[in-house]
Amino acid sequence: MKKLFAIVFLTVCTCLPAFSQNTEYSRSGSVWFEVRSDTANPCRYTEDNKIYQENRVFIYGFHYYDPQGKERFMRYERIPKQGYELTETGDTNTYTYYKADFSFSDVFDAKDSCINRYLLKVACSGRGFRKDYDQTVEEFYFLLDDQKSKLPLSMSGIVENERNLWMHPNRSCLFRVLELNPFPYIQYPVEKGKSWKWRLSIGPHWGDERWKTWTGGIVNKYKYKITDTDCEVVTPMGTLPCVKVEAVAKSRIGKTYLTAYYNDTYGFVKMDNTNIDGSRIVIDLVGVNFQ
């Protein structure tokens, strides 16, 4: 598989992002959200971002290790499903649509739909999102075997401001398991030993027999801590100075973990997830550009 190199010409630092000091905020749990009333401006939550800027593209490589520690590979599949719709006459029509799903392979073969990279593109707004959506929109795509073709997956949100950076992870196919893990999250100013908490209610529809199922809702309780402000991560963009954030999530169904490495120019450049079944997904930033 061809390697994808980063297109970046930026200076790296680990200072506090310079946002407007006149911004108003609301708070949900420990996450601070900007308050902007101009709903006619779809870029109002993106235009002052320093990292996740409009049309900036982040390319990630990932490795999956099963609960026994063996590396396995995700094979993308399109599963046919039956849909139903009412016609003007009141009759019911059926139609076929395809749901994104996956299976595992013991050998990586791009020709066999194995995928080991995905793309995050930052947008101002997304189809189906409310006009008052108070987050930056992120679009996820799988990168196919030629590393140029991309497969649309899903959209979600990022909160980036002078107080914190919080983001939904990719949660498509195999990555659905990350709904149970601590989300990438850092609070400013960055200080070694700093800690904070968060919580999230999660429904049973996020369960899967391939990792864990349950009945009724659960509440994930998260604890985050900055354990190092002077570590380095080797990436295709060079060796980057990073802040290390360690987090744990606890609920009645078990524990999950995240060790994340944050850089002030590229955001989260490495995310090592220990999942609910003991498996791991290690995600590395391998390229950044604008489209």
Q: 270 — phi, psi (to 5°)?
A: -150, 135
Q: Which residue has the higher pLDDT, 125 or 20?
A: 125
Domain boundaries, the chain: 24-72+108-290, 76-103
Q: Which residues pair with 99 in a beta bridge?
A: 79
- How far is 191 from 275, CA to CA, in rounded Å? 27
- Domain 24-72+108-290: give its CATH architecture: Beta Barrel (2.40)
Whether pLDDT at 10 is above 50:
no
pLDDT > 90 in the chain, percent: 71
Count the alpha carbons within 13 Å of 261 in the hemisphere toward its beta carbon: 18
The pLDDT mean for the chain works out to 89
- How far is 287 from 118, CA to CA, in rounded Å? 11
Mean pLDDT on 138-164: 90
Q: Which residues pair with 242 in a beta bridge?
A: 231
Structure token digits, residue 8: 């970046």
pLDDT tens readout for residues 29-65: 899 999 988 888 889 999 999 999 999 999 999 999 9
